[in-house]
Amino acid sequence: MNRRRFLSSSAAAAAGALLAPSVLGQSQPTARAQPKIPRWRGFNLTELTRGDRTASFRESDFAWMAEWGFNFARLPLSYWLWSSPGDWLKIDPDLIRPVDRAVELGRQYGIHVNIGFHRIPGYCVNGREKEPYQLFDSPRDSMRRALDAATLHWRTFAERYKALPNSQVSFDLFNEPPWMADQSRYVEVATALIRSIRSVSPDRLIVADGADIGQTPVLGLIDQGIVQSTRGYLPKMVSHYTANWVPPAEFESTETPRWPMRDKNGVLWDREKLRAELITKWKPLTDRGAPVHVGEWGCLNTTPRAACMGWITDLLALWKEAGWGWSMWGLRGHFGIVDSERQGVAYEDFHGHKLDREMLELIRQA
């Protein structure tokens, strides 16, 4: 199906109920009402996270998610797919076609597609120094140059998918803002990006990641009428055991994980500690009606099986109690349930792949 037919066929669904609350053509109120979202559950699909122009999304991933009862796919994208740091203002629309295909697969299989920029002009949580100008921790001239490009990219996506309903597509501004003592610059950046999207698509459902790598709510965005996205990686001594890309200071302990577990300071991490860190911390936001979704969570395959499964059980119980949806990182690979290469797992042969059926059934129940 070509893009014109794809957008035309999807436009008919736009008359359905939108999840974001404003009316096309009306001026924006000072404070928008909070959107209502389903309890979306699913996976991050990471093929285009690095901007690899030879990669593509797999239809089988969407088919499996639908078969298992999941309804959400988060697409963390790099703008290097359709542009480059050498010329931010040049966008090749033909190179966005793999995203079009994922959106169409989502429609076919009943999977909501959340399009996000893992790397946006001026920032990436991994290797931000590769950007010529910086959104954060930089002079304002550098921020402005990056922000001008970032808003252009989001306007391009807003225009491309404006015919599609929020039940089918939402936008996640960018992945995991940096650690910050003051959230004012993040609020400024996020507000500009939101404004650029709404200048084209006033009702688009928008997600913003929490501050501090997604771990801290941002009350300065409460009046924007958006979803805020949190993370489920604490404690990293369990979720990221032996991960060499995590700064050593971020590990609460380097001992072999178990669950529950005490960290190097003697603090007990158990279900109640998770509640305090991952749920209660967000109450100032949720008490005002703002929806929260867990954009990423997962456990590296080096974590011993018993600790991994015990930790996952407690996480999922807390999110179910809170009514929050979630998106596991990822479906396949070292954090996922397919071809994860975990030790001590009786894998099931599944269409030529190794399926961790025990973990799948655990997350399906949540």
What CATH number did the domain enclosing 285 receive? 3.20.20.80
Mean pLDDT calculated for residue range 95-116: 98
Mean pLDDT calculated for residue range 171-184: 98
Residues 181 and 326 in one domain: no
Q: What is the reported pLDDT for 66?
A: 98
Q: pLDDT confidence of 14, banded at 50, 70, 90? A: very low
Q: What is the reported pLDDT for 214?
A: 97
Q: Which domain holds residue 265?
A: 232-291+303-366
- Whole-angstrom distance, CA of residue 69 vs CA of residue 40: 11
Does 23 have pLDDT greater than 70? no
Residues 220 and 317 in one domain: no
Q: pLDDT confidence of 335, banded at 50, 70, 90? A: very high
Q: What is the reported pLDDT for 31?
A: 86
**Sequence-separated (6 or more) residues with CB below 8 Å from residue 94:** none
Residues 254 and 194 in one domain: no
Q: Please provide the average confidence, as pLDDT, over all residues in the chain.
A: 93
Mean pLDDT calculated for residue range 134-149: 98
Cis peptide before 202 (omega within 30 of 0): no
Domain contains 29: no
Q: Is there a contact between 171 and 188 (Cβ–Cβ < 8 Å)? A: no
- 3-class DSSP state of 343: coil
Between β-strands 206-209 and 72-78, what pairing exists: parallel, antiparallel or unpaired?
A: unpaired
Does 20 have pLDDT greater than 90? no
Residues 196 and 283 in one domain: no
- 129 versus 3: the higher-pLDDT residue is 129
Domain contains 57: yes
Residues 85 and 169 in one domain: yes
Q: What is the reported pLDDT for 30?
A: 66
Last residue of a domain, one of 225, 241, 275: 225
Alpha helices in 297-356 (DSSP H): 305-322
Q: Is there a contact between 261 and 253 (Cβ–Cβ < 8 Å)? A: yes
**Sequence-separated (6 or more) residues with CB below 8 Å from residue 224:** 32, 190, 191, 194, 206, 208
Residues 116 and 184 in one domain: yes
Last residue of a domain, one of 172, 193, 225: 225
Residues 239 and 196 in one domain: no
- The string of pLDDT tens digits covering residues 263-316 is 999 999 999 999 999 999 999 999 999 999 999 999 999 999 999 999 999 999
Q: Work out how many domains the chain is built from and give that number.
A: 2
Residues 185 and 168 in one domain: yes
Does 24 have pLDDT greater than 60? no
Domain contains 139: yes
Q: Is the dihedral of CA 89, 20, 102, 160 positive or negative?
A: negative
Domain contains 13: no
Q: How would you label 92-130 residue by residue, b for 16+ Cβ within 10 Å and e otherwise?
A: eeeebebbbbbbbbbbebebbbbbbbbbbbbbbeeebee
Mean pLDDT calculated for residue range 132-136: 98
- 43 versus 29: the higher-pLDDT residue is 43
pTM of the shown model: 0.92
